[in-house]
């Protein structure tokens, strides 16, 4: 089994596959250490669900790295995968091993995601230094030990942006505001409270940056309010002096290798279409973590990766190769996407359906319906697009389903 | 610092670079002075990257003569310098009878300018050639010799080759005043005085300022802003030709063109500016590019934009290139007012300036040891697996991929830094290697490139800039 990516997803998938009896496993990681993006997430808040305690990013990663080191799973760091062919031959390069071809029975895609850059936004104005993604700033501050700015405006209220608002403040920078184009934040509520409210950093909703100023280093930005159609409201333009603009405007699953294999992607998640074991539409290729869907919490990445690891193990060992009959759960009102996108009803096990809602809902209900019958109806005080939600489809419900059964998840207001 | 040369070329844009290279073929000491931290930092960095056929310029002008000559030379120069050149041909679309009338007059002009390979085609042939063109087009003018080239890559390669042949390239060297005494110029620069027998003024948008330093008021330049979108490789093959609309007073209008790197470029606008160094994009300009580009190719969408940018053309008020002896001092040669088709003409401009220099300096000897070939830089992405394996075996740094979007290795970045007139900042690495030019726009590799630059140049991380000057990326250390 070849695992591409040694972040939280890759680590958990490799470990679970080993527990399931896969003998020869290799984890390929492009950085020189395992742990992925967690290595630069030195704040706490990781592991509350999975370990029942609050860990920093590196601590969370190291729980798994230590377990991995006790096994004989091969780890290759400083190794970049540059291709996979139709026979699941993985091509990778590293300074130490040169160009390698690895024949895999199963491949687990765990490449994570990347941050949406400025170019996609086409903000008018100059192109000085001082404009970067929040994640790049996080690396400079937490790993390199340098400050990328002193007076900061953050565009986008994704979690990394919120975390960096607090981090830059603690390091002595002045964070002037966080501007969010949408009328709600895409980040976790707890991050808005702990990273903005606690530091009196204003969150300006329905607001965006329309222009950058400064020739060499950024000298300021023009911000403005937008209407429901995201058009600038004339007269609301305001110049804000700053030397740094951090972008936290979305994460994009890193699926270039996936596309190369011709694997179908979900147009909403940007990740591959998978079944309940996280197998993609290419047999023997599995996906988990942020390459599959952008997660809010790493704890859920771990759970998802364990499913992929088990699925890959079953595939390699020839277990559960009985007939497969898929149903495709449907997104009802308020539901943007569902993962997994298809469920094998012959695989009699509980399946959690993960999703995100399309707007903020208060005192709403999450309804799961099978063939018109309400299976579960859970009241939620608040549903927000920034948080991943899930509903459980129990094994016994699954067992009673037919191939033309319809599964629907919706939000009832 | 006291330095003295036979010829000092001011400005390391594509014109200054090719002129300096051409003059290095002579047995003289040549210096290329650049006020920024790298070559190609002005108009050369941000233009349409087009080699024009030459039918557009008014017959009898320097623009017409040097465009046609330059376009003929371009494939040869690119070949010597190992710079990609694409002979993709260009189209000017006609949308109505008035446009077709314009195309017929351009065809007549092509004949007058001695441009080969120009003809008018009908709608049917046009749509066969370019199926994604707007169905409203009724015909087009085809120019077979037109092509595409990356202007900063050409400039970087030319300076690299010239430095290997003995050119002195001096960066961060801004000329602030010029004196002339005892048949010698003294250029007062930010790095001290530089003496030179002759001067070539290739200062682009600032050529008028440089001319005024010797009391010459004849070079009058209007900065004219052009804004562009660069689209993802995914839509790079929407058209294969460079597609123009009928030219107007302010230039050749909005084009849609593939680039040599496989992207699609749309733009430019044309807006006269007061300032010489303001290359900010505007919401209105970018909107205009979007709308006008879809007139030619309806499927073009800014949704596929990787980046947008603006450049300043140095528009000469007399409408023609100013390439001549200064009326104040014939030892001072202008290569100024180089707007479109300046890139196309640049190899011919270099030869023309050389002949002007010989005209005033007398019979200078040509060197017989000039090597016109610039070694091809390693491009890991373009190699097959066997070649890659061999390369990594030679140097392990080629096995570490730094920019994953464009598949650029650490070895290539180190090469770019240590090349003659090599990269000193993040944008310099980007232009030489494409690291940071892909879909993530340096999100992952940007900080890695900063680290490699700091290590190779042996300076702290916070001394590395985005593009020299005050474009600092990092401030102090954290608490």
pLDDT in tens, B39-62: 999 999 999 999 999 999 999 999
Residues B243 and B207 in one domain: no
Q: Which of A234, A249, A264 is the last residue of a domain?
A: A249
Distance to chain A for B391, nearest Cα, Å: 9
Query: Quick check: A216 and B470 CB within 8 A?
Result: yes
Q: Are A11 and A28 in contact (CB under 8 A)?
A: no
The answer to whether the Cα torsion of A15, A21, A27, A33 is positive or negative is positive
Q: Are A178 and A192 in contact (CB under 8 A)?
A: no
- The range of the structural domain enclosing residue B172 comes to 2-44+152-221+319-361
Query: Quick check: B401 and A82 CB within 8 A?
Result: yes
- pLDDT for position B51: 97
Residues B297 and B426 in one domain: no
Backbone angles phi, psi at A3, to 5 degrees: -105, 120
Residues A372 and A264 in one domain: no
Chain B residues near residue A136 by CB distance under 8 angstroms: 442-443, 446-447
Query: Quick check: A91 and B280 CB within 8 A?
Result: no
Token pair 């030219």: residue: B247
- pLDDT for position B441: 84
Residue A163: give its domain's CATH number: 3.50.50.60
Q: Which residues make Cβ contacts (< 8 Å) with residue B335, sequence separation at least 6?
A: B15, B16, B19, B200, B201, B202, B321, B322, B323, B349, B353
Q: For chain A, percent helix, then strand, then coil, each to nearest 5?
A: 25, 35, 40
Which residues of B are the active-site residues?
Answer: 52
Residues B390 and B455 in one domain: yes
Substitution target in A119, A130, A145, A147 with the highest count of B β-carbons within 10 Å is: A119
Q: Which residue of A has its CA nearest to B407?
A: A82
Chain A residues near residue B286 by CB distance under 8 angstroms: 122, 124
- pLDDT for position B330: 97
Token pair 């890559």: residue: B153
Buried b (16+ CB within 10 A) or exposed e, A373-409: eebbeeeeeebbbbbbbbbebeeebbeebeeebebbb
Q: Is residue B64 part of a domain?
A: no
Q: Is residue B49 part of a domain?
A: no
> What is the pLDDT averaged over residues B116-122?
97
Residues B230 and B312 in one domain: yes
Which pair of structure tokens corresponds to residue B5? 């040369």
Distance to chain B for A132, nearest Cα, Å: 7
Residues B230 and B142 in one domain: yes
Query: Quick check: B399 and A95 CB within 8 A?
Result: yes
Average pLDDT across chain B, whole number: 95
Residue B436: give its domain's CATH number: 1.10.10
The answer to whether the Cα torsion of B297, B301, B304, B305 is positive or negative is positive
Q: Which residue of B has its CA nearest to A218?
A: B471
Chain B residues near residue A210 by CB distance under 8 angstroms: 283
Query: Quick check: A147 and B280 CB within 8 A?
Result: no
Distance to chain B for A269, nearest Cα, Å: 18
Q: Number of A:B CB contacts under 8 A?
A: 140
**HEC string for B48-110:** CCEECCCCCCCCCCHHHHHHHHHHHHHHHHHHHHCCCEECCCEEEEECCHHHHHHHHHHHHHH
Q: Are B130 and B79 in contact (CB under 8 A)?
A: no
Q: What percent of chain B has pLDDT over 90?
A: 90
Distance to chain A for B333, nearest Cα, Å: 31
> What is the pLDDT averaged over residues B350-378?
96
Q: Is residue B66 part of a domain?
A: no
Residues A6 and A62 in one domain: yes
The conformation of residue A26, written as its DSSP 8-state character, comes to E
Residues A90 and A123 in one domain: no
Query: Quick check: A148 and B475 CB within 8 A?
Result: yes
How far apart CA B130 and CA B121 sit, in angstroms, is 12
Residues A6 and A106 in one domain: yes
Residues A281 and A367 in one domain: no
Residues B114 and B229 in one domain: yes
B249 has a pLDDT exceeding 80: no
How far apart CA B146 and CA B66 sit, in angstroms, is 14
Residue B208: give its domain's CATH number: 3.50.50.60
Residues B40 and B21 in one domain: yes
Q: Is residue B372 part of a domain?
A: no
What is the count of structural domains for chain A? 3
Residues A28 and A53 in one domain: yes
Q: Is residue B263 part of a domain?
A: yes
How far apart CA B230 and CA B267 sit, in angstroms, is 9
Q: Which of A217, A249, A281 is the last residue of a domain?
A: A249
How far apart CA B133 and CA B136 sit, in angstroms, is 8
Residues B138 and B275 in one domain: yes
The conformation of residue A396, written as its DSSP 8-state character, comes to H
Q: Is residue B72 part of a domain?
A: no
Residues A275 and A173 in one domain: no
Residues A110 and A257 in one domain: yes
Residues A87 and A143 in one domain: no
Distance to chain B for A324, nearest Cα, Å: 35
Residue A347: give its domain's CATH number: 2.60.40.10
Residues A327 and A231 in one domain: no
What is the count of structural domains for chain B? 3
Q: Is residue B55 part of a domain?
A: no
Q: Which residues of chain A have a pLDDT value below 70?
A: 119-121, 321
* Top-confidence residue, A72 or B363: A72
Chain B residues near residue A98 by CB distance under 8 angstroms: 389, 392-393, 399
Backbone angles phi, psi at B128, to 5 degrees: -70, -40
Chain B residues near residue A114 by CB distance under 8 angstroms: 439-440, 443-444
Substitution target in A113, A127, A156, A255 with the highest count of B β-carbons within 10 Å is: A127
Q: Is residue B17 part of a domain?
A: yes
- pLDDT for position B439: 78
> What is the pLDDT averaged over residues B447-453?
97
* Top-confidence residue, A323 or B210: B210
Among partner residues A82, A91, A124, which is closest to B286 by beta-carbon distance? A124
Residues B196 and B232 in one domain: no
Residues B430 and B285 in one domain: no
User: Of B374, B389, B407, B412, which is closest to residue B83 (Cα–Cα)?
Assistant: B374
- State pLDDT tens for residues A314-359: 999 998 767 899 999 999 999 999 999 999 999 989 999 999 999 9
- The range of the structural domain enclosing residue A404 comes to 323-413
Substitution target in B466, B469, B477, B479 with the highest count of A β-carbons within 10 Å is: B466
- Whether cis (ω within 30° of 0) applies to the bond prior to B422 is no
Chain A residues near residue B476 by CB distance under 8 angstroms: 146-147
Distance to chain A for B469, nearest Cα, Å: 7
- pLDDT for position B2: 60
- pLDDT for position A120: 62
Query: Quick check: A127 and B309 CB within 8 A?
Result: yes
- pLDDT for position B123: 96
Residues A145 and A63 in one domain: no
Q: Which residues make Cβ contacts (< 8 Å) with residue B287, sequence separation at least 6?
A: none
Query: Quick check: A147 and B478 CB within 8 A?
Result: yes
B1 has a pLDDT exceeding 60: no
Query: Quick check: A93 and B444 CB within 8 A?
Result: no
B306 has a pLDDT exceeding 90: no
> What is the pLDDT averaged over residues B77-104?
96
Residues B26 and B92 in one domain: no
Residues A109 and A124 in one domain: no
Enter the pTM of the model: 0.94
Residue B281: give its domain's CATH number: 3.30.9.10
Which pair of structure tokens corresponds to residue A57? 């990013």
* Top-confidence residue, B417 or B253: B417
- pLDDT for position A308: 98
Residues B109 and B133 in one domain: yes
Query: Quick check: A140 and B467 CB within 8 A?
Result: no
User: Of B295, B258, B300, which is closest to residue B135 (Cα–Cα)?
Assistant: B295
């Amino acid at each position: 089994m070849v695992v591409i990516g040694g972040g939280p997803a890759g680590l958990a998938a490799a470990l679970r596959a080993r527990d399931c009896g896969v003998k020869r496993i290799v984890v390929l990681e492009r950085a020189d250490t395992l742990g992925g993006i967690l290595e630069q997430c030195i704040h706490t808040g990781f592991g509350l669900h999975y370990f029942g305690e609050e860990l920093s990013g590196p601590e969370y990663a190291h729980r798994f790295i230590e377990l991995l080191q006790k096994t004989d799973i091969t780890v290759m760091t400083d190794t970049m995968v540059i291709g996979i062919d139709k026979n699941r031959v993985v091509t990778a390069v590293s300074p130490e091993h040169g160009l390698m071809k690895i024949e895999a029975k199963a491949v687990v895609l765990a490449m994570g995601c990347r941050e949406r850059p400025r170019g996609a936004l086409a903000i008018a104005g100059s192109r000085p230094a001082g404009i970067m993604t929040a994640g790049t700033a996080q690396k400079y501050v937490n790993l390199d030990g340098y400050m990328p700015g002193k007076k900061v405006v953050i565009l986008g209220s994704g979690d990394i942006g919120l975390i960096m608002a607090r981090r830059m403040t603690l390091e002595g920078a002045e964070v002037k505001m966080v501007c969010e184009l949408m009328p709600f934040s895409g980040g976790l509520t707890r991050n808005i409270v702990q990273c903005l409210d606690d530091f009196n950093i204003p969150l300006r909703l329905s607001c965006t940056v329309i222009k950058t100023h400064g020739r060499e280093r950024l000298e300021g930005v023009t911000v403005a309010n937008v209407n429901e159609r995201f058009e600038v409201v004339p007269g609301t333009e305001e110049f804000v002096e700053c030397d740094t603009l951090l972008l936290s405007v979305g994460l994009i699953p890193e699926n270039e290798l996936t596309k190369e294999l011709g694997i179908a992607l979900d147009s909403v998640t940007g990740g591959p279409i998978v079944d309940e074991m996280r197998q993609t539409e290419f047999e023997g290729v599995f996906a988990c973590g942020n390459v599959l869907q952008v997660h809010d919490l790493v704890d859920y990445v771990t759970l998802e990766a364990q499913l992929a690891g088990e699925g890959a193990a079953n595939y390699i060992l020839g277990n559960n190769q009985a007939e497969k009959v898929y149903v495709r759960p449907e997104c009802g009102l308020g539901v943007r996407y569902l993962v997994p996108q298809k469920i094998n009803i012959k695989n009699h096990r509980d399946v959690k359906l993960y999703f995100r809602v399309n707007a903020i809902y208060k005192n709403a209900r999450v309804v799961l319906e099978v063939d018109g019958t309400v299976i579960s109806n859970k009241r939620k005080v608040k549903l927000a697009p920034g948080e991943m939600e899930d509903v459980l489809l129990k094994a016994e419900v699954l067992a009673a389903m037919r191939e033309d059964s319809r599964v629907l998840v919706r939000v009832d207001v | 610092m006291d330095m003295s040369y036979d010829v000092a070329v001011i400005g390391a844009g594509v014109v200054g670079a090719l002129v300096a290279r051409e003059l290095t073929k002579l047995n003289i000491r040549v210096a290329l002075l650049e006020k920024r931290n790298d070559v190609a930092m002005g108009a050369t960095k941000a233009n349409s990257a087009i080699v024009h056929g030459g039918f557009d310029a008014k017959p009898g002008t320097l623009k017409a003569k040097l465009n046609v000559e330059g376009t003929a030379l371009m494939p040869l120069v690119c070949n010597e310098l190992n710079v990609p050149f694409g002979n993709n041909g260009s189209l000017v679309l006609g949308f109505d009878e008035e446009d077709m009338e314009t195309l017929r007059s351009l065809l007549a002009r092509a004949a007058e300018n001695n441009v080969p390979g120009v003809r008018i085609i009908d709608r049917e042939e046009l749509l066969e050639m370019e199926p994604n063109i707007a169905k409203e087009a009724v015909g087009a003018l085809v120019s077979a010799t037109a092509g595409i080239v990356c202007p900063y890559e050409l400039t970087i390669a030319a300076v690299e080759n010239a430095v290997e042949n003995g050119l002195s390239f001096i960066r961060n060297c801004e000329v602030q005043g010029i004196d002339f005494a005892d048949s010698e110029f003294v250029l007062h620069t930010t790095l001290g005085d530089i003496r030179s027998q002759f001067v070539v003024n290739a200062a682009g948008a600032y050529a008028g300022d440089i001319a005024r330093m010797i009391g010459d008021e004849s070079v009058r330049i209007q900065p004219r802003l052009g804004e562009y979108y660069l689209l993802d490789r995914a839509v790079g093959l929407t058209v294969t030709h460079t597609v123009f609309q009928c030219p107007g007073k302010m230039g050749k209008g909005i084009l849609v063109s593939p680039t040599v790197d496989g992207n699609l470029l749309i733009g430019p606008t044309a807006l006269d500016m007061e300032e010489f160094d303001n290359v900010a994009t505007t919401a209105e300009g970018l909107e205009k590019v979007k709308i006008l580009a879809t007139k030619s190719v309806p499927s073009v969408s800014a949704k596929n934009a990787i980046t947008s940018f603006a450049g300043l053309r140095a528009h000469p008020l007399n409408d023609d290139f100013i390439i001549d002896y200064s009326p104040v001092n014939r030892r001072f040669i202008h290569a100024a007012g180089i707007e479109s088709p300046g890139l196309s003409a640049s190899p011919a401009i270099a030869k023309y300036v050389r002949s002007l220099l010989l005209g005033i300096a007398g019979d200078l000897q040509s060197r017989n040891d000039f090597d016109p070939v610039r070694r091809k830089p390693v491009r890991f992405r373009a190699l097959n697996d066997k070649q890659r394996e061999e390369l990594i075996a030679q140097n392990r740094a080629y096995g570490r991929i730094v920019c994953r979007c464009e598949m650029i290795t650490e070895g290539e970045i180190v090469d770019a830094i240590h090349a003659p007139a090599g990269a000193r900042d993040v944008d310099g690495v980007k232009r030489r290697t494409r690291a940071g030019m892909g879909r993530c726009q340096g999100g992952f590799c940007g900080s890695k490139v900063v680290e490699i630059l700091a290590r190779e140049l042996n300076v702290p991380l916070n001394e590395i800039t985005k593009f020299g000057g005050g474009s600092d990326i990092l401030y102090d250390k954290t608490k």
